[in-house]
Amino acid sequence: MLVWWRLLITMTSLWILYLIQGKAVRIPTRSIFKISLIGTVQDLHWVTFYASIKLANVTIALTCLSTTALIAALIEPLVIKKKFDFFEILLGLFAIAGIVIIYNTHLNFSTGIIIGLVSSLLTVLVSVTNKKIIDQYHPEHITLYQLTGGFLGLSILLPVFHFLFHDQWAPPAALDYLWLILLSWACTILTFILYIRSLKKISAFTMNLTLTLEPVYGIILAFIIYHENKLLSKWFYFGFALITLAVVLHVWRLIYTSRRNSPQH
């Protein structure tokens, strides 16, 4: 329900904004269906990410999220049919080892860890499939129809969710609307606008590089605000260190390859 309300507010706000600005361009129906499916997968990523936080905690959910770059390195060759990279597979094994250590030493969070990894896999699928359509349409149009189609897709799945989990529908409390608006406007719409504008100043590679820091500062904030470090054993830090090492080596290799392939070289 959190994701459903977030999408409802975001989608409505974006349609109003884009209609006023004249950016609500109609695209072919077949493309709308394809983009909507990707949007639904994106929504399920949000649902499973929030579920991971609820079933475990913020730190565990963000630790699982930190594996997305390595999961992408393993999944992308299957989707776009390119050769597997042995070094990336090796880094993936490092990350898997870190997750296994965290899982086996924090069995009370086991369900949250599994759901968190599903969330990471879903966001990788969204990223890979978006690459196939990003050159066909303007990013703003893709976002508008992904959020709209995703909202409709999630609305269709909502009765199934209520049936499986016996969750009763209830409108948000008055204060919850404030948080939902903040989540929709500040964390979705504003973030997207800043993302698009920043791409005009920096490369997409640099942007993706900065996104790898999200789990790091997110975990630090979880320690400061929620004191979640008290809930974790020393084995968590060992497992997280393995994942971080794999991510750092992966990023370093991307930087090295990017510089080697630059025109000046």
For residue range 109-131, list pLDDT tens digits in order. Answer: 999 999 999 999 998 888 888 87
Q: Which two tokens stand for residue 233?
A: 């054993």
Per-residue pLDDT, 264: 56
**What is the value of pTM for the model shown?**
0.87
Q: Where are the beta strands (DSSP E) in 102-188?
A: none
Provide the pLDDT confidence category of residue 48 given band limits of 50, 70 and 90.
very high
Contact 144, 24 (CB under 8 A): yes
Contact 245, 95 (CB under 8 A): no
Per-residue pLDDT, 162: 84
Helix axes 139-165, 29-55, angle to 10 degrees: 50
Per-residue pLDDT, 24: 79
Residue with more model confidence, 252 or 47? 47
Q: What is the DSSP letter of 108?
A: G
Q: What is the DSSP letter of 228?
A: G
Q: What is the DSSP letter of 189?
A: I
Per-residue pLDDT, 64: 93
- Centre a 10 Å sphere on the Cβ of residue 216 and count the other Cβ atoms it contains: 14
